[in-house]
Amino acid sequence: MSSPNPAQPLTYHLGHQLPETGRAIEVAPGVYWLRMGLPFALNHINLWLLRDLLPDPHDAGRLREGWTVVDCGIDNPATRTAWEEVETSTLQGLPILRVIVTHMHPDHMGLAHWLCERWRAPLWMGLAEYQAARIACANTSGLGSAAALRFFAQHGWNREEDLAVVKQHMNHYAEMVPAVPNHLVRLRDGMPLRIGQRQWRCMSGLGHSPEHMALWCEADALFISGDMLLPSISSNISVYHHEPESDPITWFIESLAHMRAMLPDACLVLPSHGSPFRGAHTRIDQLQAHHAERLSELKQACTQKACSAHDALPILFKRSLNQQQMAFAMGEAIAHLHALWHAGQVQRQLDPSDGVYRFRSLTVESH
Ligand SMILES: [Zn+2]
């Protein structure tokens, strides 16, 4: 995709500053940045605290001062302790009035149940995300389930010893998200949301999760992007076994295009990983170019021989992958092949000899 302007580099107005665990940095008046640890290669998540003012449920004529939290961190002792520190370092004696979650992934959703209960605060999130979280938390259809293993095998990842490792991660989600609140206030695409003195609008995005909800404040040019727009890594875009025909790369690219049309380049993007930055258009262009390049490499490979998603891994991932990363990499490889398949650029065939889906470019001459 070409851009009318030469790409400007992203700018980070806070430089190398990072909030210490349990403390916050104010990034705009009444908007505070928290950073919590994660026990993965991606070792942190950003959470946001917004000053808020909501009607007092016990006294309709009164407004209650407090905070809205956006995203929660995973449920482990270290993150609970960090939140307890935030109570003394940052909350100024005011309560958390509501908990907004951008999407159901464990680093965003994990402690929602704990924060909602601790503060008697309601959960606000997209309905599809909420339902997906409840299903994943009930732990019957997770990453290591028989259905997921069958799905991976159908895409060429069928070595017994590899799948045994995936199986061990069956309870992965529920370990980090042991409970989900029993009820929610539903966020919808385009829904206006008053938080304190600011008017925000929900912006849903597809591809990374079922119904990701970002928040846009036009008056102050602030964008809480969740995992839909990250400054230095590309979001995981995977096909999952419960939706085996999906086309999330195309959905993601379409969502980015919508976002590009809505946001000015100079807005301050508050992402879930990495630092707040400016240059939304540049970053969206980079991500679209990145996916386009991978799709073209993959299409080329499918011209030479029919490829399964497993065959596509070395084309898409130049680094070596450990077995935990393999499940995510497989999901991404299937997603890229599906983007070509749904666009009519490759055809898909289930090989009767081994039950594996292979994709072949339609430009190849048949004989
Ligand atoms: Zn995510």
Torsion of CA 214, 216, 221, 222, to 10 degrees: -40
pLDDT for 140 equals: 58
Among 132-141, 212-221, 231-240, the range scoring the smallest mean pLDDT is 132-141
Strands 198-205 and 192-195: antiparallel
Is the Cα dihedral 203, 23, 32, 262 positive or negative? negative
What is the Å distance from ligand 1's center to 47 Cα?
13
> What whole-number distance in Å separates Cα of residue 214 and Cα of residue 216?
7
Nearest-CA neighbor of 234 among 215, 256, 213, 204?
256
DSSP label at 10? P
95-138, pLDDT tens digit by residue?
999 999 999 999 999 999 999 999 999 999 999 999 999 988 88
263-272, pLDDT tens digit by residue?
999 999 999 9
Q: Give the pLDDT band (50/70/90) at residue 172.
A: confident
On whether the CB atoms of residues 280 and 269 are closer than 8 A, the answer is yes
pLDDT for 27 equals: 97
What is the Å distance from ligand 1's center to 105 Cα?
5
Q: What is the mean pLDDT of the chain?
A: 92
> 138: number of CA atoms within 13 Å, CB side?
9
pLDDT for 148 equals: 86
Q: Which pair of structure tokens corresponds to residue 344?
A: 């009519």
What is the Å distance from ligand 1's center to 103 Cα?
7
pLDDT over 70 percentage in the chain: 95
> What whole-number distance in Å separates Cα of residue 174 and Cα of residue 106?
9
pLDDT over 90 percentage in the chain: 80
What is the Å distance from ligand 1's center to 305 Cα?
33
Mind giving me the DSSP string for 109-148? HTTHHHHHHHHT--EEEEHHHHHHHHHHHHTSS-TTSHHH
The more confidently predicted of residues 141 and 275 is: 275
What is the Å distance from ligand 1's center to 361 Cα?
31
Between the alpha carbon of residue 114 and those of residues 20, 175, 177, 352, the distances in Å are 22, 14, 10, 49
Q: Give the pLDDT band (50/70/90) at residue 139.
A: low
What is the Å distance from ligand 1's center to 363 Cα?
36
Using CB atoms within 10 Å of the CB of residue 150, give its burial: 0 to 12 exposed, 13 to 18 middle, 19+ buried. middle
250-301, pLDDT tens digit by residue?
999 999 999 999 999 999 999 999 999 999 999 999 999 999 999 999 999 9
Q: Which pair of structure tokens corresponds to residue 347?
A: 């055809």
What is the Å distance from ligand 1's center to 27 Cα?
22
For the cut 90, the answer to whether the pLDDT of residue 20 exceeds it is yes
Please give the biggest Cα pair distance in the chain: 79
* Contacts of 283 by beta carbon, 8 Å cutoff, 6+ apart: 10, 229, 231, 269, 277
By three-state DSSP, how is residue 1 classified? coil
pLDDT for 305 equals: 93
What is the Å distance from ligand 1's center to 73 Cα?
11
On whether the CB atoms of residues 137 and 178 are closer than 8 A, the answer is yes
Nearest-CA neighbor of 236 among 224, 226, 221, 222?
226
Name residue, tokens 């990495």: 274
Q: Give the pLDDT band (50/70/90) at residue 203.
A: very high
What is the Å distance from ligand 1's center to 296 Cα?
26
What is the Å distance from ligand 1's center to 185 Cα?
20
Q: Of all helices (H) and strands (E), which one includes residue 32?
A: strand 31-37
What is the Å distance from ligand 1's center to 262 Cα?
22
319-342, pLDDT tens digit by residue?
888 777 888 899 999 999 999 999
pLDDT for 367 equals: 45
